[in-house]
């Protein structure tokens, strides 16, 4: 799952103005690997995009990655403001 973490960070960091404040936490439940992405409050709009288009595109790429076993991937964008 390290490769998936690097994939998310590679996609998100060029989009934001504060790439040093991009944090990605990974939690595991029975059904999902949950990736909780948090960015600087100033950059949250850049990651979500107009009408959620950027977030949807990021999720499409991340969800297309095959994982071992029956668990699926879920990407959550956390707004800490």
Task: Please name the residue that has the structure tokens 């029956």.
Answer: 70
Grouping H, G, I as helix, E, B as strand and the rest as coil, residue 14 is helix
Give the CATH superfamily of 2-78. K homology (KH) domain (3.30.300.20)
Mean pLDDT in residue range 36-53: 95
C-alpha closest to that of 7 among 81, 63, 69, 72: 63
Mean pLDDT in residue range 17-46: 93
Q: In the chain, where are the structural domains located?
A: 2-78
* Residue 1 pLDDT: 63
pTM to 2 decimals? 0.86
* Residue 56 pLDDT: 96
With 0-12 CB in 10 A as exposed, 13-18 as middle and 19+ as buried, what is 55? middle
User: What is the dihedral sign for C-alpha 67, 23, 36, 51?
Assistant: negative
């Amino acid at each position: 799952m390290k490769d998936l973490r690097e994939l998310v960070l590679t996609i998100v960091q060029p989009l934001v103005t504060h790439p040093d404040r991009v944090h990605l936490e990974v939690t595991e439940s029975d059904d999902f690997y949950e990736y909780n992405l948090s960015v600087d409050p100033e950059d949250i709009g850049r990651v979500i995009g107009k009408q959620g288009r950027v977030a949807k595109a990021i999720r499409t790429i991340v969800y297309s990655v095959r994982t071992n076993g029956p668990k699926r991937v879920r990407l959550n964008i956390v707004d800490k403001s």
